[in-house]
Amino acid sequence: MKIGIICYPTYGGSGVVATELGKALASVGHEVHFITYTQPPRLDFFSENIFYHEVSVASYPLFEYLPYESALASKMVDVTVNEQLDLIHVHYAIPHASAAYLAKQILKYKGIHVPVITTLHGTDITLVGRDPSFEPVVTFSINESDGVTAVSESLRNDTYSSFEILSNIEVIPNFIDLNRFQKQSKGHFKLAICPNGEKLLMHTSNFRKVKRIQDIIQVFAKVQKQVPAKLLLVGDGPERSGMEALCRDLGVAADVRFLGKLDTIEEALSLADLFFLTSEKESFGLAALEAMACEVPVISSNAGGITEVNIHGETGFVSEIGDVDDMVANTIKILTDEGLHVQMKANALARAKEFSLEKILPMYERYYEKIVGQSWKFPTQKFTDAE
Ligand code: GMT
């Protein structure tokens, strides 16, 4: 199949899922065309089945805001016509789903029919998409997609409860490449960071407000009074400087390391004893899954789809959003009970295997076949054939 993938070319979340999905589809023989405004970070290698098409937006003095959506739709039209795409798969509804709708309508006038699948990832539904400035367009473009998927049951339910959705939403969960995300022996690095055998706690994200990183730092400050520990914070974003200040205020700055963006996140995860994900919104929590694949139990909030990944009492513990004291108690429980810790590490890996790439990729392929098949059963008439 010839598939166009549209996503944000970012380090985390939907961009990573879209890029890894495209790479996996290419590895099993599909022709994959990425259409983005810059090359996705994990697409820096040669594959005969992967193509990259850059969306560039012409600037003009009149434009206070560059019309990216129009440029994206035009590029989708161009690639569909010239590469004869069978399917367009957009990741993150805003503005990709509405740009795809526009492209589809333009293609219709050229006598070309291409089905569009929209994958909802999280904040496009739970946060940004609900804003009145986006909601009508999000609702319309979801309803006009030929297929819609959500990365968790929770996100599917949120979509139905917040928007007037008329179509069926298929849940296809996020996945993990277990060949890449596996525990590596990095004992010497651990010794450098934790020279006195301290426990290593970790979090990785884009440092946005929804991640509630302040909870992690507060938990850490309290845990550290009972269990010697260090905290690694990986990633970068708007909250970072505020979090650095909080570490200083709580007197834990010397034991917290801000590592910035890391390409080889699995190396850092291999050192960790526990992983934190304390978000107030989280459709899935890919970061937690990556930790679990590296045998790291998770202390999390109960936001959104996190509980579909982190199983309370098995792969870690789950607390109410913002319940710092409960998170402290759970953290100490794991760190002071070697038997429990060992069991949870094994459970975390076993759970991660349920989301392996090998299991989830065929779900996407089957869904593609269904949508392409369905839409060809009722082909859009060529405009020139219409009465
Ligand atoms: O976590 C973020 O803020 C990034 C965001 C994105 O779309 O790039 O991530 C969302 O999509 C990921 C991949 O499907 C999910 O694992 C994250 O849980 C989700 N983030 C939120 O819902 C906040």
- pLDDT tens for residues 53-83? 999 999 999 999 999 999 999 999 999 999 9
* Per-residue confidence (pLDDT) for residue 42, from 0 to 100: 80
Question: What is the 381 CA–ligand 1 centroid distance (Å)?
Answer: 38
DSSP 8-state assignment for residue 377: H
Q: Of the residues 6, 17, 19, 121, which should be mutated to test ligand 1's pocket, given the most ligand atoms within 8 Å of the CB?
A: 121
Instruction: Decide whether any atom of ligand 1 lies within 6 Å of the 95 Cβ.
Output: no
Query: Which CATH topology does 2-175+357-375 take?
Result: Rossmann fold (3.40.50)
Q: Which of 296, 322, 324 is nearest to 310 (CA)?
A: 296
Q: Please state, as a whole number, how many other Cβ atoms lie within 10 Å of the Cβ of residue 157.
A: 15
What percentage of the chain reaches a pLDDT higher than 70?
96
Domains 2-175+357-375 and 187-353 share a fold: yes
pLDDT in tens, 329-367: 999 999 999 999 999 999 999 999 999 999 999 999 999
Instruction: Decide whether any atom of ligand 1 lies within 6 Å of the 122 Cβ.
Output: yes
Instruction: Decide whether any atom of ligand 1 lies within 6 Å of the 13 Cβ.
Output: yes
Q: Of the residues 286, 302, 364, which should be mutated to test ligand 1's pocket, given the most ligand atoms within 8 Å of the CB?
A: 286
In this prediction, residues 219-224 reach a mean pLDDT of 98
Task: Break the chain into its structural domains and give their ranges.
Answer: 2-175+357-375, 187-353
- Going by pLDDT thresholds of 50, 70 and 90, the confidence category of residue 382 is very low
Q: Could you give the CA distance from residue 282 to residue 359 in angstroms, rounded to a whole number?
A: 22
pLDDT in tens, 84-142: 999 999 999 999 999 999 999 999 999 999 999 999 999 888 888 889 999 999 999 99
Distances from the Cα of 37 to the Cαs of 61, 91, 251, in angstroms? 20, 14, 42
Retrieve residue 211's tokens.
């991640």
The CATH classification number of 187-353 equals: 3.40.50.2000
- Going by pLDDT thresholds of 50, 70 and 90, the confidence category of residue 376 is low
Instruction: Decide whether any atom of ligand 1 lies within 6 Å of the 283 Cβ.
Output: yes
* Per-residue confidence (pLDDT) for residue 188, from 0 to 100: 81
The residue to which tokens 């999280």 are assigned: 122
Q: Could you give the CA distance from residue 158 to residue 122 in angstroms, rounded to a whole number?
A: 9
Question: What is the 13 CA–ligand 1 centroid distance (Å)?
Answer: 4
- Going by pLDDT thresholds of 50, 70 and 90, the confidence category of residue 43 is confident
Q: Could you give the CA distance from residue 238 to residue 214 in angstroms, rounded to a whole number?
A: 13
* Per-residue confidence (pLDDT) for residue 290, from 0 to 100: 97
